Amino acid sequence: MLLEDIVIIKQTDNPDEPTVITINCPDKTGLGCDLCRTILFFGLSIVRGDVSTDGKWCYIVFWVMGKKGTIWSLLKKRLLEACPSVLSANTLMLFRPESQPPKPADVFLLKFCCHDRHGLLHDVTHLLCELELVIQRVKVSTTPDGMVMDLFFVTDTRELLHTLKRKQDTHDHLKAVFMDAMISCDIEMVGPDFTACSNGPPSFVPPAIAEQTFNLEMFDENHETKHGSGRSVSVTVDNSLSPAHTLVQIVCRDHKGLLYDIMRTLKDYNIQKREKTCEFDLFIVQADGKKIIDPSNKLTNFPH
């Protein structure tokens, strides 16, 4: 049997009709579960299924409905990987003892720095999916001058991301799509720090990784000259001003989405803002760089 005949995907031109996936391969325990999981992972819905088996060989048909952007070639490859080899139908299957669970996949940190634009995160995640990288966690940070640093914690289904060739291939694919907008792309294996990241809140990044990544390396000398020298982050926790509440004062460089980042962090750590008001000290100027002295200015007309 040819490899192409094991999995056959027959698409239809009518979006209201299901796509037919036919699988003809040796049988094994849990094969149906593995195939269904793979199909559902691609965002498809199984509307009908038919299974025939004699204990050694099986013939399975799935009728699925899916989204327009489904990567059918990658789905076929994944289904082929889930199917046993043809030789296994005539040989004794060896199973790993339950006392020896499979080794967990290595986790890599992909640091992607790029000029921000609409749909950037969608395009990056779509490309990583095509490269067969599974995203475990994402941390996105945007600078005031329109640059973005995305941290992707990923695993490689090919288990080759530790090799220089696989890293270079990933870099080249990203560069081909984003071209001059891409500033840098670094890939490295993460250590025990990621365990803390996995068990912590979604927006938490291990201190060692955060310090290494967000050291203002994206701000060149021209940026520092334009915006002034960098200022370190200051977080003060004060319990003396209120018998019932804790006051948190934060002084840091401004950036787009700062308030959201603060509120999201508080939510991740299950910290509730008890007061119904929120106070800000904003040092602002008009577009011409001067103070606001026009009494008719409507700046104070915020909704109540």
Whether residue 61 is found in the same domain as residue 151: no
Whether residue 119 is found in the same domain as residue 215: yes
Whether residue 124 is found in the same domain as residue 205: yes
Q: Which of 128, 185, 133 is nearest to 156 (CA)?
A: 133
Q: Is residue 160 part of a domain?
A: yes
- Residue 185 domain boundaries: 108-221
pLDDT digits (tens, 9 = 90+) for 90-131: 544 444 444 455 677 888 999 999 888 888 888 898 888 888
CA dihedral 140, 143, 149, 151 (to 10 degrees): -30
Per-residue confidence (pLDDT) for residue 102, from 0 to 100: 62
Per-residue confidence (pLDDT) for residue 170, from 0 to 100: 93
Whether residue 67 is found in the same domain as residue 116: no
Q: Which residue has the higher pLDDT, 201 or 251?
A: 251
Whether residue 123 is found in the same domain as residue 77: no
Three-class DSSP category at 81: helix
Whether residue 29 is found in the same domain as residue 77: yes
Among 221, 255, 271, the domain boundary falls at 221
Per-residue confidence (pLDDT) for residue 30, from 0 to 100: 82
Among 172, 189, 221, the domain boundary falls at 221
Give how many domains the chain has, as a whole number: 2
Among 221, 240, 267, the domain boundary falls at 221
Put simply, whether the predicted model's pTM sits higher than 0.75 gets the answer no
Q: Is residue 217 part of a domain?
A: yes
Question: What's the token pair of residue 204?
Answer: 């938490």
Please check the confidence at residue 285 and state whether its pLDDT lies above 80.
no
CATH number of the domain bearing residue 11: 3.30.70.260
Whether residue 126 is found in the same domain as residue 78: no
Whether residue 9 is found in the same domain as residue 85: yes
- Tell me the average pLDDT of the chain: 75
Whether residue 156 is found in the same domain as residue 210: yes
When mean pLDDT is compared across 54-68, 205-219, 273-287, the lowest value belongs to 205-219
Q: Is residue 272 part of a domain?
A: no
Q: Are 46 and 62 in contact (CB under 8 A)?
A: yes
Whether residue 43 is found in the same domain as residue 147: no
Q: Is residue 159 part of a domain?
A: yes
pLDDT digits (tens, 9 = 90+) for 193-242: 564 454 455 445 555 555 555 554 444 444 444 444 455 778 888 888 77
Long-range contacts of 137-141 (CB under 8 A, 24+ apart): 137/197, 137/198, 137/202, 139/203, 139/205, 141/214, 141/255
Per-residue confidence (pLDDT) for residue 250, from 0 to 100: 82
pLDDT digits (tens, 9 = 90+) for 24-35: 988 888 888 888
Per-residue confidence (pLDDT) for residue 108, from 0 to 100: 92
Q: Is residue 298 part of a domain?
A: no
Whether residue 137 is found in the same domain as residue 78: no
Per-residue confidence (pLDDT) for residue 226, from 0 to 100: 44
Long-range contacts of 13-17 (CB under 8 A, 24+ apart): 15/68
Whether residue 126 is found in the same domain as residue 177: yes
pLDDT band at 175 (very low <50, low <70, confident <90, very high): very high
pLDDT band at 278 (very low <50, low <70, confident <90, very high): low
pLDDT band at 42 (very low <50, low <70, confident <90, very high): confident
When mean pLDDT is compared across 55-59, 101-105, 202-206, 265-269, the lowest value belongs to 202-206
